[in-house]
Every structure is written in structure tokens, then in C-alpha cells.
Chains A and B, each alone.
Chain A
């Protein structure tokens, strides 16, 4: 993944999460991952198109998703209902959109696809021939892993 793409995603993830959660967020060490990876329970995915092709995946445990959705909505949510799913999707959308805006300022043209959300236990995502950058974010509500895989259109 191009070096120029990394910072916009890291920064916007940090900024948006800090703002919506109104709390301290810590960024973990970045690393690369290949082939299939287990999903913690809730995964929101946003596709990227334009000069590049790829996707951004937001991965967290169900409890984390519920806690984050509760904070963002200002009410206690206990079940994985439509509101929770919509909230997590929106968070994914906000972070990706801000990153894409930053990239646009740097001269890279990216388009977004509408986000989708997957929930369930023991899920695994396989991407053939794609290497992903993992940005772990630690919040008081649990860990959110942002998994970015982008490649140049060949």
C-alpha cells in the first residue's frame, strides 16, 4: 500500500473516534497482514474505487459495538438492533469519508461505496492477493481494528 495513503486513514480514524466518543483514544502499532483474517464479531465495510480499488474494514467485538453505539446515541443500547448497526455503519462512513477528503487534498481521487455491516460469530474474511494495513485503535470500550487494503488499478 502506498505510503501516502497511510496517514490520512490513521489521522481521520483517530480524530473521528476521539470526537464522537468524547474520550481518549489510543492508536496501536501499525502492521501488515495477508490472506484471511478472523473478524471479531461486527465488521463494517466501505468499498473504495477511483484511481485505486480496495476497501476499508472496521472490525470490533459485539460489546464494543454496543458500547460505542450507546455513547454515540446518548442512550443505553443492549441488543444488536437496527439502530446499533446504523450507528456503526455511520462511524465507518465518517472515518472513511474524512480520509478520502484528506487524500483528495493530496491529489488522489477516491470514491466511496455505501457501507455494509456484517455481524456474527466465527467469521473470517479472505481477500485473495491483497495485503492489508491494520490500524488498531484502543478505546475505553474496547479495540477497533481498521483494516485498509488498497491497490492501484493495474
Chain B
């Protein structure tokens, strides 16, 4: 075997491996950092920001791992030294030397942790996270979510939620110790307890929110909060307050089952199409530019195209329909129907082909189906209308905000936005004109 050939084979192996890495879904991002020479990670959803700071204000009588409090742009947060907390050697730097801080957010508490150095953000597939081995020395196994390998390095992923409750435990342990407790401390402990009590239901709700995001990438935000709260109450009565948590993807599906707008992944039925027609306001434009992010298989786009044709027969309609699911959208441009499946309203826009019924050329020409990720930029002309049913909710909270702001920036002065049945526009600048089945907003200055 010639050396060149072996090299070639090696290349193949390498590229096959690379490919494997590509196809793995990156669904867990973590901020990595070092403590006493070892690598650790924290779920990025818990990380508010990273910072460098020094000169923490010392708090008397605090646990040894509490370095003090710090004024973070007006908010007073407590600073915890993770190294002391885990009994790792910590180099005590001078007053003026900046420490690396990760600002964490757990529920509504914001606090900072000191680490040796912050590395970077790594995206991994949560399926590859291995459970911690019981003989991990430095840190109690309880506080480890798992171990993951990335680029030849092993990262220990900390369970921040658990860690934070540990802090409370330690505090109360300290209180039990024969140290004279000030009345204030006692009071504080009691009030803490009361808060915890009243939060128990919220904890379950928060847990459900997190699982929805993990399994379905559904993020509860002001866009869909109203629905979530109602559904949560409903869920409690369905489950009779037992076993509320979603333990697997099928349960998350069940929880979400009432979320979707009517006729998702199907042509809109006559009655719903008529409701949309009635909800749409008069427009004088000659050309109507529409954006349909998250069009999926394209049913929604075709339905909306026909609805617009009926509502504005004289206007030229152009719809840019995007989806980041290549398999779903690749079938969209050449969709074929059996005529029995098709609601009456679409029949005038269809013709019979060899294999079944398709939409006429004028409808098909009005739609551009694009393989596109809404989070990447894509040039579009100024828009008259946006239809995004059940798209926004399936982005991360930050991405949701970005897309909603984008909606405002990409539209003309007079423009309309249609969201999913259980979604609401939380940002200013949009006036709601929802009818019972159609969630519609008009842009207002």
C-alpha cells in the first residue's frame, strides 16, 4: 500500500468523524471555566453575563465561601468563591487584581461566582452528556449534572440549581450550630422559608418550562405566557395535581397539544380561511410583500396566498416563505393534492396535473420558498404583512426578542402581523386587532 493511499484513507476516516460531529444536534450550550486546573461547564441558560471585578465589600458573619457583595451596575449581588466552596486551592489575589466572575441567574436570584479563568462557550449535544461517576473527588456528585467530552477535553457540568439550594442548606446548618443567632437572622431564615413555600408551585411550572424548551425547543416568554399559565392550570386539573412534571418528549407533546394554531400542516379549511379574509383590513397597495418565516411544509403559505388573492384580487402578491427544515420545505414548491382533500375555497386556484392537483402557476409564482434560518440575515424588501404562526415560540427567548424587533424593522409604516392563535406581540408599536380565531396586529407609530 502506498503511503499516499494510507493518507487518503486516513482523510476519509477523519472526514467521516467530522461528519458525525456535524450531524449531532447541538442543543446544549455551556460556558466553560477552570477551577484548580480542571475544566468545568455551566448551562448557558443560567449565565447572565461574565465580568471581571475586584474590591468586593466584605460581609461579616457570612459563610466562608461568600467573598462579599458587589455593585453590578446598581444591583447589589453576592459574590461566591467557587474554589472555597469546593475546598479547592484558591490563590488570594490582591485587593486591586480583577477576578473572573460569572454572573448567574437562578430563578430570580442573581449572584456572581469567582473562578480561576473563563474559557469560552461550547455547544454540545445533550445526548452525549454522561452521568457523573460516584467517585468524583473534589465536588459532591449531587452537584454535577454530568461529564462531556469536547475537543479532547473533559468538562464537568455543574448543576447550578442544586448548588444554589446547597448554599441555603449550609446557611441553615450554620444556624443550627451553637452560634448565637441574631433575631434578624432568624427572621431572615423564616422569611426565606415562606418564600420557598409559596414558590413550590412555581418551581413545578418552571420545571415544565425548562422541559418544554429541552424537548420541544418551546420557550415560554411574554409571547405565549398567557397560554402557558392557562394550560398549566388545565394540566393540573387533568393530572389531578399528581405527577405534573414532563418526563419525556411525548408528555411535552401532550402539554403543547393545545398550543398550535388551527390547521397546522394542512390547508386551512373554508371556515378558517374565511375568518382570515374577514380579519384582514383594506389595502390600497399594488404590490403586497409578505414574509412567512417558519412555513414548514408550505400548507400555510399556499393557504395564505389564496386568502390574499381572494381578499385583494387586484394586487400583486409576493410571499417569501422560509424554513430551516430542509426536508419539510424541499417538498413545498411542488406540492400535489388529491382533490378530495382540498377545501372548496382553493379549487379555483388549482389545476389537474399528471399525478394529482397542484396550485396554478400564478399562485406558485407568487411564492418564494427559501431554505433559510431566520436567525441569519436575509435581504427582504420592505414588508406589508408578516405571517408567523407558532414560529416565534420555538426560538430561544433572546432569539424571540430579536425576531420580534426584526418584524418591526422590516415592515413598512402601515403593516400587519399575524401570529399563532396562542401568541401575543409583547413589544410596543403594534396595535392588536384580533378576532376570535385570527391573531392580527397593525403597526402603529
Question: Hey, what's the 0/1 contact readout for B127-152 against A, CB within 8 Å counting as 1?
Answer: 00000000000000000000000000
Q: How many A-B residue pairs have CB under 8 A?
A: 76
In the assembled complex, which residues on chain B have CB atoms less than 8 Å from the CB atom of A33? Answer: 376
B11 to chain A, nearest CB (A): 5
Q: Does B39 contact A (CB under 8 A)?
A: no
Q: Are B22 and A154 in contact (CB under 8 A)?
A: no
For the complex, give the distance between the alpha carbons of A86 and B23 in Å: 33
From A63, A131, A143, A151, B15 is in contact (CB under 8 Å) with A143
* B370 in contact (CB, < 8 A): yes
Q: Give the distance in Å from the alpha carbon of A56 to the alpha carbon of B283 in the complex.
A: 40
Instruction: Say which residue of B16, B18, B324 sits within 8 Å of A32 (CB atoms).
Output: B324
Residues 325-384 of B contacting A (Cβ, < 8 Å): 326, 329-330, 332-333, 368-373, 375-379, 381
Q: Is the CB of B372 within 8 A of A131?
A: yes
Distance in angstroms between the alpha carbons of A1 and B329 in the assembled complex: 11
Give the interface size class of chain A. Answer: 20 to 34
CB distance from A17 to the nearest CB of B (A): 14
Q: Give Cα A67–Cα B4 distance, bound, in whole angstroms.
A: 9
Q: Indicate if the CB atoms of B16 and A154 lie closer than 8 Å.
A: no
Report yes or no: A129 in contact with B377, Cβ–Cβ below 8 A.
Answer: yes
Q: Which of A69-115 touch B at CB < 8 Å?
A: none
- B68 CB to closest chain A CB (Å) equals 40
Closest to A24 in B: B12
**Residues of B with C-beta under 8 A to A138:** 12, 15-16, 19
B8 located at the interface, meaning its Cβ lies under 8 Å from any Cβ of chain A in the complex: yes
Give A29 to B23 CA distance when docked, in angstroms.
7
- Residues on B with beta carbons closer than 8 Å to the beta carbon of A7: 330
Q: B372 and A141: CB pair below 8 A?
A: no
Q: In whole angstroms, how far apart are the Cα atoms of A109 and B106 in the complex?
A: 55
A63 vs B368: C-alpha distance when bound (angstroms):
40
Q: Is the pair B368, A2 in contact by a Cβ cutoff of 8 Å?
A: yes
Shortest B210–chain A CB gap in Å is 27
8 A Cβ contacts from B15-44 to A: 15-16, 18-19, 22-23
Cβ of A154 and Cβ of B379 under 8 Å apart?
yes
A84 to chain B, nearest CB (A): 16
A29 pairs with B332, CB closer than 8 A = no
Q: A136-B22, A138-B15 are contacts. A151–B324 as well, Cβ < 8 Å?
A: no
In angstroms, Cα B23 to Cα A142, docked, is 18
A64 within 8 A of B: yes
Given contacts A136-B19, A152-B368, A154-B381, contact A4 B11 (CB under 8 A): no
How far is it, in angstroms, between the C-alpha of A140 and the C-alpha of B4 when the chains are bound? 11
- When distances are taken between beta carbons in the complex, the residues of chain A under 8 Å from B12 are 138, 140
Contacting pair B19 A2 (CB below 8 A): no
Q: Is A34 an interface residue (CB 8 A)?
A: yes
Q: B11 contacts A64, CB within 8 Å?
A: yes
Complex Cα spacing A55 to B51, Å: 41
Once the chains are docked, how many angstroms separate the CA of A1 from the CA of B7? 36
Nearest A-chain residue to B298, judged by Cβ: A3
What is the chain B residue whose CB lies nearest that of A7?
B330
- The docked-state distance in angstroms from the alpha carbon of A129 to that of B379 is 7
Residues of chain B contacted by A67 (CB below 8 angstroms): 4, 8
B residues within 8 A CB of A31?
22
Q: Is the CB of B373 within 8 A of A131?
A: yes
With both chains docked as a complex, state the minimum distance between the C-beta of A73 and any C-beta of chain B, in angstroms: 15
Tell me if B9 counts as interface (CB < 8 A to partner A).
yes
Is A39 part of the contact surface with B, judged by Cβ < 8 Å? Answer: no
Distance between B383 CB and nearest chain A CB, rounded to angstroms? 13
* A64 contacts across to B, CB distance below 8 A: 11
Q: Is A45 an interface residue (CB 8 A)?
A: no
Give 4 closest A-B pairs by Cβ, nearest first.
A34-B376, A131-B376, A3-B369, A143-B15
Q: List 13 A-B contacts (CB under 8 A).
A: A1-B371, A2-B369, A3-B330, A3-B333, A31-B22, A34-B373, A34-B377, A35-B376, A130-B377, A131-B377, A136-B22, A141-B8, A151-B378
Residues of A within 8 A of B (CB): 1-4, 6-7, 28-35, 63-64, 67, 129-131, 133, 136, 138, 140-143, 151-152, 154
